[in-house]
Amino acid sequence: MNNSDAATARKVVERGFSNLLAIPAFVDGSNAAFDAKSGTAQLGTDVSVNALGYGGAAILGPTIRIRQGEGFNLAFSNNLSEATNIHWHGLEVPAAQDGYPTDVTAPGGSFQYNFPVKNRPGTYWYHPHPDMSTASQAWRGLAGFFVVTSPEEESLGLPSGEYDVPLVVQDKRLDGGLTYNPDTDDRSIGMFGESILVNGTASPVLEVATRTYRFRLLNGSNARIYNFAFSSGAMFHLIGSDGGLLDAPVSVSSVMLAPGERADILFDFDGQAIGSELYLQSNAFAGTATQGQQAFYLLKFRVTRQEPDNTLVPDALMPVEKIPESQAVATRSFNIGHMMQHGGMDGMVMHPIDGKTFDPDRRDDVVKAGTVEIWEFDNSAGTETHPMHLHAGQFQVLSRTGGRGFVEPWERGWKDTALAFPGEKVRIIVRFPDLKGKFVFHCHHLEHEDGGMMLNYEIQ
C-alpha cells in the first residue's frame, strides 16, 4: 500500500444514519456472570458480520454498574476458540485480577474476577488484554462499559436513566466483515476502518427529547482519534474525564479523545424544533500526518418529542485532589519516539519504549506503594501518536511541551491515558496504590501495543 492508498483507506465513509442506536444492557457488578463467544452480529438493517461479544451480546458486552465501595464479582467463561482475559481499564485492581497479558483463560476455561471497587464514580470500561492478541479481539467486538456510581454523585441531579447514554465509538472495516488481518501499514500506523459504529450500530440515529442528556463518550477504536463536537457548533458542558467527575463543569465546543480515553458531557437539546436533526461529529484536527484531515459524522440525533426538564448544571461537581509535585520521590523519562523496528515475530512491526519491547519475564521499573512519581513520555522525535496508559490506577497530567503545548480541559481531572502527539512531551504525576505485584504501561494504540510498545513495572 503506497501513501496515497493508505490515506484513502483511513477515510470514513458516511451512510444514511437510519439504524436506531443500540443501548447495551445493564448488569449488576456485585453478582455477575457472563462469557465471551463468537457469533453473528446485526449492526443495522442491512449489515451483518461475524463478531465477538460478552454476555450473550453478539458484539460488545453489557454495561456493568456498581457502587463505589462494593465488591465486584464476575464468573467469567471463555467460549472462544482462543485464549483471552479481561482488563478493567482505569480501575484500581489487584495484579492477579488486572488482565496481565500472559494471565489468560484458555478456550473452554473459566475465571473468577473479584475485587473491591475503590475508584471514584465515573465511566470506566473493560476489554481483552492477551499478549499480541488485544488488537484482534477488540477489533472483532470485545469491549464494554464499567460504570461506578455513588450517593454523592447521585445527589448532583445529573441526567439519569434513559437520559444517561453510554456511547462507545469505533471504526471498522465492514466490507471484509470484522476480519482482523493487518498488513505492514496497518501495523505501523494503525488499523483504521471506513465505517463508524456507535454501540455496535452502523449508521446510528438516536431519538431525543428537548432536554439535557448526559453522554458518556468512550473511544474504543484501535487507533483512530476523535475530536468530538456537535454539528450545530453549540457549546456543551464537560463534566468528567477518565477517572470520574471534574471539580466543576467546563464549557467547551469539542473534546479530543484517543483510544482508551473517556469524557462525560452534558448537552441540552432545549430549543431544538420537533423533527429537527443534528449530529455528533468528529472535527478535523492538526498535529499528525496519519489522521485528523477529515471531519465526519458519527451519530445522528433526531428530536422527536418535547419534555419538561429540571436539570440544573451544578456549579461544583466532585473535588479533584491535586497531587503536589513536591511529593514526588522520583522522575522517570520514557522515550516513546523511537523508530519502528520491522521484521519482528510473525512479520510484526515492533514499536519500542526506550528501545525495548514487551517481555513478560523482564522487570523494567520498580516503584513503591504509596509513593508519588513524575513520569515523562517523550515523543519529541516521534512521527506517530501514542496514547500512553498505566494499569493499576489513575494519574494527573502536569504539562505538555512541544506540539499543542498545553494541558487540555479534559486532562485536568483524574486520568489513566494521556495522548502524546508527535513532537510532544507529556508529564504525569502518579501516586501508586497499595497493590503489590507486576503491572504494565503501554501505548493504547492497539497495533503498537501488540507490536511490543508495553513495559512492566512492579509495585513493591
3-state helix, strand, coil in the chain (%, to 5): 10, 45, 45
d(CA 372, CA 395) in angstroms, rounded, equals 10
Beta carbons of 403 and 256 less than 8 angstroms apart = no
pLDDT at 5 over 60: no
Please report the DSSP string for 332-400 in residue order: EEEE--PPPB-S-GGGPPB--BTTB---TT---EEE-TT-EEEEEEEETT-SS-EEEEESSS-BEEEEE
Q: Which amino acid is at 288?
A: T
**pLDDT tens digits, one per residue of 55-94:** 999 999 999 999 999 999 999 999 999 999 999 999 999 9
Q: If pLDDT is split at 50, 70 and 90, which confidence band does 2 have?
A: very low
DSSP H helices, 163-309, are 184-189
d(CA 429, CA 399) in angstroms, rounded, equals 10
d(CA 147, CA 124) in angstroms, rounded, equals 6
d(CA 54, CA 132) in angstroms, rounded, equals 20
Report the Cα–Cα distance between both ends of the chain, in Å, rounded. Answer: 47
Strand, helix or coil for residue 63 = strand
The residue-averaged pLDDT of 384-391 equals 97
**pLDDT tens digits, one per residue of 147-204:** 999 999 999 999 999 999 999 999 999 987 899 999 999 999 999 999 999 999 999 9
Beta carbons of 40 and 54 less than 8 angstroms apart = no
- The DSSP code for 426 is E
The Cβ-side half-sphere exposure at 275, using a 13 Å CA radius, reads 0
**pLDDT tens digits, one per residue of 134-146:** 999 999 999 999 9
What percent of the chain shows pLDDT beyond 90? 92
Beta carbons of 148 and 124 less than 8 angstroms apart = yes
Sheet bearing 328-335, strands edge to edge:
328-335, 372-379, 424-431, 396-401
The residue-averaged pLDDT of 254-275 equals 97
d(CA 163, CA 391) in angstroms, rounded, equals 31
Strand, helix or coil for residue 70 = coil
What pLDDT is attached to residue 345?
53
By DSSP bridging, strand 110-116 and strand 71-78 are antiparallel
Beta carbons of 267 and 236 less than 8 angstroms apart = yes
Name all domains of the chain by residue range, CATH numbers in brackets: 3-150 (2.60.40.420), 161-305 (2.60.40.420), 325-459 (2.60.40.420)
pTM of this prediction exceeds 0.85: yes
The residue-averaged pLDDT of 328-341 equals 91
What pLDDT is attached to residue 8?
56
| Residue 434, phi then psi, degrees to nearest 5 | -85, 70
The residue-averaged pLDDT of 361-381 equals 97
What pLDDT is attached to residue 340?
73
d(CA 13, CA 78) in angstroms, rounded, equals 34
DSSP H helices, 289-341, are none
Strand, helix or coil for residue 231 = coil
